[in-house]
Structure 1
């Protein structure tokens, strides 16, 4: 039996077909190259408006070598001519995933023996105002673990907002994830206590980051 197809039915069928086509092309993770799920430019602009224009469009390293709006043949040839594959693994002491910590065929920076701590009774950050009041603080090296840090603070009649697991390193994932502590309900997260950091940038530059300089890193 034949019947006339209404316009609404036609649109519905076309819409369903489009969704099916998109579903067949999608991978398990949405990428900018997938127009079926990746937000359109207008969507990004609307999000940017809601956060006072703080959305930053990043360009991944080596993007000139891949198809897309940033592809550049000249830059691609330059990257290919100088590129060398050499992994860099940095670790303090203990790692959960031993496959990542072994550093096979890679340059491994092992800070296990770099264990230093210095107590300051009148610490002020670099480049701060002369009138800034000093405070108790401690400068530590990458190797320090919380069992060492709590003991060191106790020797100076102080406490520190640190981790409860004794063998976890003080610097690294603990701080980068916020740093939950048994004292957080009183003093906040461990990351809130950081006054200053000495950082090596991917460019190799060694900088100081605090409230007064390199704030985007701090």
Structure 2
């Protein structure tokens, strides 16, 4: 399903394929040879999304941009089922495995692998050829790779990155769920004016 959002429509290369129940919404450009498979969601909300050539987005993956963070996915990347990739940059030949998450303003270097259920946290800089092991967390600039049990160390590196300010524009001391959800509700209300393209 192709959707115009905020007056901007997806641009799909004729040699790309988007499954009938995938969603491609807004300012999205998909390159030649790409395959956006069943149930995948590629949603540009404010920022743009650019997907290079021969990149595969598997079933039920979610790729998003926001007004603060565009998304760029390079050539010959594979984004696995149920992965979540938002407002970051994946250089060429990156593998994002099933259930992995890559957050706002992260940079994943060429040829890197983010394995099953691994996380690349916001603003994290992952050098080319890095592997984030299954379930591990990459955080910081340059990235430190930590097992999930190292919560205190992960938090020590993550806290100065200021998730509420980076993602929602709210100082940590002011951020609460009422302000976050009100802000999201206001920005997401723009979808009321979306237009679904005729499939014919």
User: Which bin holds the TM-score, normalised by the shorter protein?
Assistant: under 0.3
Larger radius of gyration: 1
Structure richer in helix, relative to its length: 1
Structure richer in strand, relative to its length: 2
State the structure with bigger RCO (CA 8 A, min sep 6), 1 or 2.
2
TM-score when normalising by structure 1: 0.21
